[in-house]
Amino acid sequence: MQRGIICDRKGAFCADSYGISIGYTQEYLGKKAAKRLNRNISQYNMDTTSYTLSNGIYCNSRRYRCYQNRYSGAPVNGSYTNRLFRLEQKQKRNKMKKTVIMAAIVALSGAAYAGSVYSPSKGVLCDKKAKFCTDSYGISIGLTKEYFGNKAAKKFERLVEKDHMDLTEWTFSNGVSCNTHKKICKKSKWDDNADAHWTKMLFGTVPHAAHGGGKKASLDFSRDCKNYLMDKFPGVPNAASSVGRGYYKGSTVHVPVTFKWDEPRLDEKGECIIKNGVVQRYKSFH
């Protein structure tokens, strides 16, 4: 198998640096696997640019990285990243120092660059002044390359590797600060409360009351539920489960879940039960 391609026999698919590939799946795993993959992509509207291998490794083609798992803040898996994206990663022998990326000089007025941060597509924010882009997983070198070119992406990649920057927490040039662990954005790094406008633009949700949102704020814990299901049922393909938006029932949040798959046969409904922002368990309705 040539470099830049990874195949998962248990998951029955192959991928290259652009994402899951039906062509390579057919070449290495056969026509039957390719047809099944094509059917699943169409039926479940799969995102082929990010996926989890059967061994738990999570790869994201837009960020040109593979991680130890799908959870936010997971460490980069250098071996798989090099195999798939040909990027050299430094091994972290000591505890990584956490560096918050400052995209602008604090002394400058945020209003001067108010128009520099914009959303080119749903769930993506880009900073024209600092020349980087982000999604709900954090700063993305892939998206930076897409919207600002290869030169900007390479420059940011060097900064990340040199300074061990934390891509999950950053400040835009207009002063807005975002954190993917908390799933919030604030007008300023020093603000106590989340900003509903920027949080919704990046994460698609209104901030929870604990972070400055209203008590009846609409919650979206779908990603937390999805990550929990992948960890609890590692043998079940990621595309087999679909999750809805969370809703309150007393002091807990319930996220609807539907499992549907052909091989192995899956047809089940249930829900993730979340308390204090943490998934407690999955409850099957069968």
**CATH number for position 267:** 3.10.450
Integer-rounded Cα Rg, in Å, for the chain is: 20
Task: Indicate whether 198 and 255 sit together in one domain.
Answer: no
Residue 94 falls within a domain, yes or no? no
Residue 231 falls within a domain, yes or no? yes
Q: pLDDT at position 45, please?
A: 75
Whole-angstrom distance, CA of residue 133 vs CA of residue 139 = 6
Q: pLDDT at position 212, please?
A: 45
Instruction: Count CA atoms closer than 13 A to 6's CA, side-chain side.
Output: 26
Q: pLDDT at position 264, please?
A: 66
Q: pLDDT at position 208, please?
A: 52
Residue 236 falls within a domain, yes or no? yes
Residue 90 falls within a domain, yes or no? no
Task: Indicate whether 160 and 201 sit together in one domain.
Answer: yes
**Nearest one of 171, 173, 172, 170 to 113, comparing CA atoms:** 173
Residue 96 falls within a domain, yes or no? no
Q: What is the pLDDT of residues 87-117, one digit of tens each?
A: 434 433 333 344 444 443 333 333 333 468 8
Q: Hey, what's the torsion of the CAs at 195, 198, 200, 202, to 10 degrees?
A: -140
Count of domains forming the chain: 3
Contact 194, 184 (CB under 8 A): yes
Residue 28 falls within a domain, yes or no? yes
Boundaries of domain holding 76: 6-85
Whole-angstrom distance, CA of residue 108 vs CA of residue 254 = 44
**Domain edge (last residue) among 85, 120, 140:** 85
Q: pLDDT at position 90, please?
A: 42
Residues of the chain with pLDDT under 70: 1, 87-115, 205-221, 251, 263-264, 276-277
Task: Indicate whether 169 and 227 sit together in one domain.
Answer: no
Q: pLDDT at position 251, please?
A: 66
Residue 206 falls within a domain, yes or no? yes
Whole-angstrom distance, CA of residue 228 vs CA of residue 235 = 13
**Domain edge (last residue) among 85, 109, 141:** 85
Whole-angstrom distance, CA of residue 84 vs CA of residue 99 = 27
**Domain edge (last residue) among 187, 211, 235:** 211
Residue 268 falls within a domain, yes or no? yes
Whether this model's pTM surpasses 0.85: no
Q: What is the pLDDT of residues 218-269, one digit of tens each?
A: 345 677 788 888 888 877 777 778 888 777 777 677 888 888 877 667 788 9
